[in-house]
């Protein structure tokens, strides 16, 4: 049976953000790493930090926050960003 991937952040309070216009810098207090995020990536990290969610649910949340449509371009961008986040240990995938 197919199980949707759910993305989760361990201890969302570990992230600290600063924003300047479209730019966002996130400090990860768990690792000491600092990440420069574009607007989509920043909203994605904020969205997944709110609550664990599938990629589809995250697309809806991010689209709502950015005030854009939840189209295939956004889906692709988020899939790619989630892969980057996973490699950086910012998020992890859990089975639903």
Residue closer to other proteins, measured from CB, 19 or 93: 19
Q: How far is the CB of 15 from other proteins (least distance, A)?
A: 11
Q: How far is the CB of 51 from other proteins (least distance, A)?
A: 24
Residues 6 or more apart in contact with residue 21 via CB below 8 angstroms: none
CA gap 59, 74 in Å, rounded = 7
- Of 2, 14, 21, 3, nearest in space to 45 by CA: 14
Q: How far is the CB of 65 from other proteins (least distance, A)?
A: 18
Q: Is 29 helix (H, G, I), strand (E, B) or coil?
A: coil
Positions in the binding site for other proteins (CB under 8 A): 16, 18, 20-21, 23-25, 27, 29, 32, 34, 36
Residue closer to other proteins, measured from CB, 25 or 66: 25
């Amino acid at each position: 049976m197919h199980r949707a991937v759910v993305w989760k952040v361990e201890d969302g309070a570990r992230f600290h953000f600063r924003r300047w216009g479209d730019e966002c810098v996130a400090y990860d207090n768990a690792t000491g790493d600092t990440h420069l995020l574009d607007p989509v990536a920043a909203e994605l990290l904020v969205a997944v930090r709110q609550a664990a969610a599938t990629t589809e649910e995250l697309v809806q949340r991010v689209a709502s926050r950015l005030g854009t449509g939840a189209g295939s371009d956004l889906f692709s961008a988020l899939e790619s960003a989630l892969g980057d986040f996973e490699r950086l240990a910012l998020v992890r995938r859990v089975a639903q």
